[in-house]
Structure 1
Amino acid sequence: MTVDDPLMSPFVLKNLTLRNRIVSTSHEPAYSEDGLPKDRYRAYHVEKARGGVALTMIGGSALVSRDSAPAFGNLQLWKEEAEPWLRRLADQVHEQGAAVMTQLTHLGHRTSNYTDNWLPAISAGNVREPAHRAFAKAAEQWDLDRVLQDFVDVAQRCEAAGLDGIELMAWGHLLDSFWTPFWNHRDDDYGGTYENRMRYPLQVIRAVRAAVGTDFVIGARMTFDEEREGGLETPEALRIAEDITAAGIDFISLIKGSIGTDAHLARTIPPMSTPASPHLEFAGRIRQKLSVPVMHAARISDVATARYAVAEGLLDLVGMTRALMADPELPNKVRDGRTDRIRPCVGANMCIDGIYASGAAYCMHNPSTGRELEVPQRIDRASTGSRVAVVGAGPAGLEASRVLAERGHDVHLFEAADKVGGQLLLASLAPRRRDLRGIIDWRTEELARLGVRISLNTYVTAETLLDDQPWDVVIVATGGTPAAPRIPGAGLVTDTWDVLSGAHRPRGHVLVYDDHGGNQALDAVEALVGGGATVELVTPERTPSPDVGSLTAAGYFNSLAENGVTVTVLRRLHGVSRTPDGLEAEFGVDGFGFRERRTFDAVVAEMGTDPVQELYDELVGSSTNLGAVDLAALLDRGPQSVVRNEEGSFRLFRIGDAVASRNVHAAMLDAARLCRAI
């Protein structure tokens, strides 16, 4: 890094000096406890500050009002007991040299009617947001008066707690539901003309500005083009920006697009397979017309693009939120000239989709994010080194080898194939998921740096492993193989691995049966229709692909529609038989006697994987622990000291799909938890 690196140059935001231009923009990881930013929430943001970020923004959609029901783990800063937790977080972030702010909002219609206290949602009108499905009532004057006071009270609480500022959320929530013609259909003093639509948001901004000190920073997150019929367009958005700046806004977090549906949100927060930094040039054009600093975040995940954005004057501050979740040390690595060691964000969007699927945000290949207290981002050296054999170079084996080598152990990684990556290599063959290669490539480079020996084209048996040298620890990460449906005629069924690899791409009328619920069946469908097949996707679930997050699923579902794929839910496959006309599939509905039979030219099934555990079974009798894991120690970061066989010569563990069919993150977490204590 040179001293004139624009990305590392300081920036003065009002009277607040930021040490560089990299920002973790406001987002809600759902790490709160009782709606408060307690230890887990604080550790997550302190780690970003320690990693060198200039500004970390907490509380994506932190709530100011009791009736704004938390829809996705939101902080509830209307609670008085939030202040000491905020103060502790702010103090520790400041100790690491970073600034800290929080976003404040009333969610308005962007929530559910059936959560928290079941109070009615409010909005500018009687509207319904598709994503969270609440039916909202049009806010009455008494609603507006109390919510305005709530904004004031919580802003003052944040200032008293030592935060450097706040950001008012005006993108898809209550405040902007008044100024956008898409949501506001009122016929009173708050609707109709531009002046009427702006009346309430400006009242709130002026009241908040008047209630806090002049040095306290107030920003706004807003869109400059909703990209939907009847929505806010750029000319009027620029007028809004001018008016809210005059009312007391000090910076703008710039957005392009809207948030009401999964598809709209996916265009605003793009997942993998979409272009990187899609709105950056638009943001640069808008910035030239504004009188306050601009920050922007939309898949700016690489340092070169971030540096370009600052150097060319497109942005004042670069939001790299997802990239910082993948590697909170990113700013320090830029500063120290170690950009080649940055763990890449691959755009899997598990950080966003995980909030709904798992109850919290997780990074697909950084198991420490959100678990800083139990799986620290920094890996400590072991007191003594051990000789460790890791068998299998899929995601679990790669992560295990990396962590063990970082701890100072002598690691030898064995892989039966001619390259590392395991199932990730197969998954990355799908054009939509090609960026998964970044997970493999980064670990390959790290293992080379750490001097880990890798033996490819090496099929390991218990005999060859034990004859090689004495091992202290053996970790079996042999993964899985495609599971076949347990039905009559299973031998007539093709698995998705053959489809994705190109080994077998049937044509004609093809059934893809998905009893897994992940990306795999959808990837197979896209591969098949790309080869000219007519496809029907069938699942026993109530919805297709329930384990695929909403932002990622939006692109898939559009592809299904464009390619004429029929989707059938609530049908379980009971058997397949060959007939003169093709393959006859028998379906039923769970719990009932209904049966139907239909004929296809081919049947493809996705059933997850069966563990490859032969090596484990061969080794278990020679191990000291007989494969047993002390689960309490595993979760408490304690050593694995189980002894069930005094005659054993090594400790044996298995991780990832060698245990059971799960996802990449689960495999990484297995490795991270286990190997940090070896």
Structure 2
Amino acid sequence: PHCNGMGYRDASALAAMRGMKAEGGWAVVCTEMVEIHHGADVSPYVELRIWNDQDIPMLARIADRIHAHDSLAGIELCHSGYTAVNLWSREVPIAASAMPAASYYHDPVQARGMDKEDIRNLRRAHRAAALRARAAGYDLVYVYAGHGLGIFQHFLSRATNFRSDEYGGSLENRARLLREVIEDTKDAVGDRCAVPVRIAMNEFQGAAGLEPAEVEDAIALMAELPDLWDLSLSSWSKDSQTSRFAEEGFQEPHIKGVKKLTSKPVVGVGRYTSPDTMVRVIRQGIMDMIGAARPSIADPFLPKKIEDGRLDDIRECIGCNICVTHDFTMTPLRCTQNPSMGEEWRRGWHPEIIRTRSTDAHVLVIGAGPAGLEAGRALGQRGYQVTIADAASEAGGRVARECRLPGLAAWGRVRDWRLLQIGKMANVALYLESEMSAAAIAELGADHVLVAAGAAWRRDGTGRHHVRPIVMAPGADVLTPDDLMAGKRPASRDVVIFDDDHYYMGGVLAELLRKEDYTVTLVTPAALASAFTKASLEQAVIQKRLLDVGVRIEANQAVDAIARDHVLLACVFTGTTRALACGSVVLVTARNPLDELYHALAGDGFAVSRAGDCYGPGTIAAAVHSGRRFAEEFGDPPRDHLDLPFRREVIALDQS
């Protein structure tokens, strides 16, 4: 199961996405968390709901799309307790014990402690949701106690359960509600559906919360009660760690003791992308089945490729968590590796299939970065004659440079998979160390030119905070991320990094320079280092890493001026300035598209387009998507700018 930013708002898109995974051979395809009651409302996040019978048709559509490919459909019923703030329903949140509600925005809301009637009503609501799930056609009906987001975990954990009645105190008492709801659910669905339990094995709070030994004791109390144990970590940021901080299979130490406690199947996760690793954990008896959210996003056809022996064709997850960010931004799911993710219904894209060419055109792609490689690969798959040229000595563009930074090695998979696919195509040629001028392009005689030359980091400090260049003294040592990635280093050992980008780059470069024994101060106008990474579940880990390696962080500050021996900091709230001594400055602010060639060709009358960072600097995922979109739409009649390039669902108005 995984959230996706679509939920009840984009039902057809969500159904198509789940159906694509079933087509790809996954044995069980599950929904994300599904709110069982209007008092379990996690708005503004867009998840699924099973509040009443009105929700059954939407959920049935998802199950039907899964069943169409002979996979089992699972539904993750959820009441989020004190983490459901009920902003839409305006109900008072409930919790095992009274406490402030936990929300992304720190909403000024408190959850009330549940009394016995509340517990009875919760059981009734879960039973009603289970019956609706069965009516919608689901084969597995989950009881959810994971990620710090399920109320049954809140009852189980002494970190959130301070009760003194039969539902608090001892482990047996704290596990009572979970046991009762499992029994209720099994009674409701009968032998028509399996009832798995998704449970958090570790809350990482020491003895104050759940630890593997105590969770194992809880599992032992009801070992044979559910039909399957689905193991995870808590919170979500611990469960879905990025490749920057965790290797494949990182959860194994926390879950390896469960198999010996039960005869029921055990499922585990850990961003498994290697078939060899998957086989190992099964053979070692750590788990019976592999759970895969992010790997199935990157390659919905991973199981079929294993079955067919096409292991080299697996599009491996890079562990960047761009998929997660779009649940937090409440927008449709996307993936760096798989640009069709979230576009199955909206644009009709398929991760493995693309329509054949409509003309005999020869396309020249200038730039072998993520956009250029994806465009060339997809055009080649369509059957076009494609030439890819890049001035660099290696393919990959920004990916080739960034994957050498601390923790980002797995990001190189974006390049590697595309090069492997292109290498199999006789109709696609790749030329490196080939800088293309307008004259050379004319001589080649391609029918269409796609410029995907990337972007360069700005040297003047212009970005979000400064709309005009920063004042710099003559002779000041000022560098950009491009300089550092090219091997250049600061002239001074005392470095300030001005991070007005707020994603990963500033923090990664700070870590790089500290490892090389530079003294580093990270200055950011935001309140936190790498602030956007809250959405990728990394921010707290990044800030801890920076502090642990000795990076000084100056938050809520901007670099207003750069001298040879200091920078002038200004508070973003008061404007108060002060000098901070340093000898070198790295500016991580904004990027300029390298689009000069595009404009020159367009001015000379060439049939030319642009893609990726050359068109609009953004994420690697955006660049890959841009390349795929060009390839998908190439040869089509021009679309009017006012026409939508995708489908969307519009709410049907109530007639009352």
Q: What TM-score does the superposition give when structure 1 sets the normalisation length?
A: 0.86
Is there any run of 5+ residues in structure 2 with no aligned partner, and where? 462-468, 635-656
How far off is 1:510 after superposition?
Answer: 1.6
- Answer whether contact 1:498 1:505 (CA < 8 A) is retained: no
Deviation string for 1:216-263 (max 9, x for gaps)? 1001011334342222234432332233345x41100012x421xxxx
2:38 alignment counterpart: 66
**Separation of aligned partners in 1, 2:526 and 2:329:** 15
Q: What's 2:187 paired with?
A: 210
Counterpart check, 1:270 vs 2:241: yes
| Aligned residue number for residue 322 of structure 1 | 294
**What is the alpha-carbon distance in structure 2 between the residues aligned to residue 621 and residue 29 of structure 1?**
42
Asked if 1:459 corresponds to 2:430, the answer is no
The reply to whether residue 298 of structure 1 matches residue 270 of structure 2 is yes
Residues 88, 320 of structure 1: CA spacing in aligned structure 2 closer, same or farther, 3 A cutoff? same
Equivalent residue for 1:15?
Answer: none
Residue 338 of structure 1: how far off its partner (Å): 0.9
1:596 aligns with 2:578: yes
Which residue of structure 1 aligns with residue 375 of structure 2?
Answer: 400
1:570 partnered with 2:556: yes
Aligned equivalent of 1:366, options 321, 335, 338: 338
**Among candidates 511, 518, 528, match of residue 496 of structure 2:** 511
Q: Is the 8 A contact 2:97 2:162 kept in 1?
A: yes
User: 1: distance between equivalents of 2:570 and 2:286?
Assistant: 57
Identity of matched residues, %:
27
The aligned runs of 1:165-564 (5 Å cut-off) are: 165-171=140-146, 172=148, 173-229=150-206, 230-246=208-224, 248-255=225-232, 257-259=233-235, 265-273=236-244, 274-280=246-252, 282-357=254-329, 359-373=331-345, 374=347, 375-377=349-351, 378-451=353-426, 452-469=428-445, 471-484=446-459, 485=461, 486-489=469-472, 492=476, 493-548=478-533, 549-564=535-550
Q: Per-residue deviation at 1:517?
A: 1.4
Structure 1 residues 560, 241: closer, same or farther in 2, change over 3 A? same
Once residues 129 and 426 of structure 1 are traced to their aligned partners in structure 2, the CA distance between those partners, rounded to angstroms, is 43
Establish whether residue 121 from structure 1 lines up as the match of residue 121 from structure 2: no
Change (3 A) 1:287 1:385: farther
For 2:30 and 2:417, the matched residues in 1 are separated by: 28
Secondary structure at the residue paired with 2:578? Answer: strand
Report the more deviating stretch, 356-365 or 512-521. 356-365
The answer to whether the 8 A contact 1:499-1:527 is kept is: no
CA distance in 2, matches of 1:120, 1:542: 30
Contact kept? 1:390, 1:401, Cα under 8 Å: yes
1:593 Cα deviation (Å)? 4.8
**Counterpart in the other structure of 1:659:** 615
Aligned to 2:388, the other structure's residue is in SS state: strand
Return the alpha-carbon distance in structure 2 between the equivalents of residues 149 and 304 of structure 1: 44
The alignment's C-alpha RMSD in Å is: 2.1
| Aligned mates of 2:517, 2:204 — CA distance in 1 | 33
| Aligned-partner Cα distance in 2 for 1:203–1:507 | 65
How far apart are residue 489 of structure 1 and its match? Answer: 1.0
Amino acid at match of 1:665: A
Paired letter, 1:460: M
Give me the whole-angstrom Cα distance separating, in 2, the residues matched to 1:146 and 1:490.
Answer: 69
| Secondary structure, aligned partner of 1:396 | helix
Matching residue's letter, 2:36: V
Aligned to 1:630: none
SS in structure 2 at match of 1:511: strand
The answer to whether the Cα contact below 8 Å between 2:271 and 2:294 also exists between their aligned partners in 1 is yes
Q: Does structure 1 conserve the Cα–Cα contact (< 8 Å) formed by 2:530 and 2:542?
A: no
Change beyond 3 A, Cα 1:301–1:110 = farther
Q: Give 1:414's aligned amino acid.
A: A
Give the 3-state SS of the residue equivalent to 2:601 in structure 1. helix
Q: How far is 1:601 from its partner?
A: 1.9
Measured at CA, do residues 536 and 119 of structure 1 come closer, stay the same or move farther in structure 2, by a change above 3 Å?
farther
Structure 1 residue runs of 4+, over 6 Å off? none
Name the SS for the 2:470 alignment partner.
coil
Any stretches of 5+ residues in structure 1 without a counterpart?
1-25, 260-264, 624-649
2-side partners of 1:430 and 1:82: how far apart?
A: 46
Distance change in 2, residues 1:570/1:285 (3 Å):
closer
SS across alignment from 1:551: coil
Deviation of residue 506 (structure 1)? 4.6
Tell me, in whole angstroms, the C-alpha distance in 1 between the residues paired with 2:395 and 2:590: 21
1:408 maps to amino acid: G
Label 1:515 to 1:232 Cα distance change in 2 as closer, same or farther (>3 A). Answer: closer
Matched residue type, 2:23: R
Residue 217 of structure 1 aligns to a residue in which SS?
coil
- After superposition, give the CA deviation of every residue in 1:171-221 in whole Å (9 maximum; x if it has no partner): 222112112222211122321123322232222222222122223100101
SS at match of 2:359: coil
More off after superposition, 562-571 vs 542-551:
542-551
1:673 aligns with 629
Query: How far 1:465 moved relative to its partner?
Result: 0.4
Mapped to 2, the partners of 1:99 and 1:226 lie a distance apart of: 30
Q: How does 1:114-153 map to 2 (within 5 A)?
A: 115-128=87-100, 132=104, 133=106, 135-153=110-128
Q: Distance in 2 between matches of 1:606 and 1:503?
A: 15
Structure 1 range deviating more: 449-458 or 564-573: 564-573
Name the CA distance, whole Å, in 2 between partners of 1:358 and 1:385: 41
Cα distance in structure 2, aligned partners of 1:353 and 1:401: 27
SS at match of 2:400: helix
1:44 aligns with 2:47: no
Pick one of 49, 53, 57 that aligns with 1:76: 49
Query: Structure 1 pair 552/450, CA: closer, same or farther in 2 (3 Å)?
Result: farther
Q: 1:590: Cα distance to partner?
A: 4.8
TM-score using structure 2 length:
0.89
What is the distance in 1 between the residues matched to 2:613 and 2:17?
28
Q: C-alpha displacement at 1:597, in angstroms?
A: 2.8
Q: Which of 582, 589, 592 is residue 610 of structure 1 equivalent to?
A: 592
Q: CA deviation at 1:565?
A: 2.1
Change (3 A) 1:592 1:279: closer
Deviations along 1:576-603, whole A, 9 cap, x unmatched? 123xxx2x32233457653333321211
Give, in angstroms, the shift of residue 447 of structure 1. 0.7
Query: After alignment, is 497-506 or 147-156 more displaced?
Result: 497-506
Q: Output the amino acid matched with 1:208.
A: T
Are 1:222 and 1:252, in contact at CA under 8 Å, matched by a contact in 2? yes
- Equivalent position SS for 1:442: helix
Paired with 1:506 and 1:518, the residues of 2 have a C-alpha distance of 25
- Alignment length (residue pairs): 611
1:554: Cα distance to partner? 3.2
> Counterpart in 2 of 1:17?
none
8 A contact 1:180–1:232 mirrored in 2: yes
Task: Look up the equivalent residue of 2:612 and give its one-letter code.
Answer: G
Q: Contact (CA 8 Å) 1:44, 1:370: kept in 2 or not? A: yes
CA distance in 2, matches of 1:234, 1:388: 56
CA offsets, 1:330-384, max 9 Å, x none? 1111111111111111111112233214634321221111121213323111233
| One-letter amino acid of the structure 2 residue matched with residue 660 of structure 1 | G
1:155 aligns with 2:130: yes
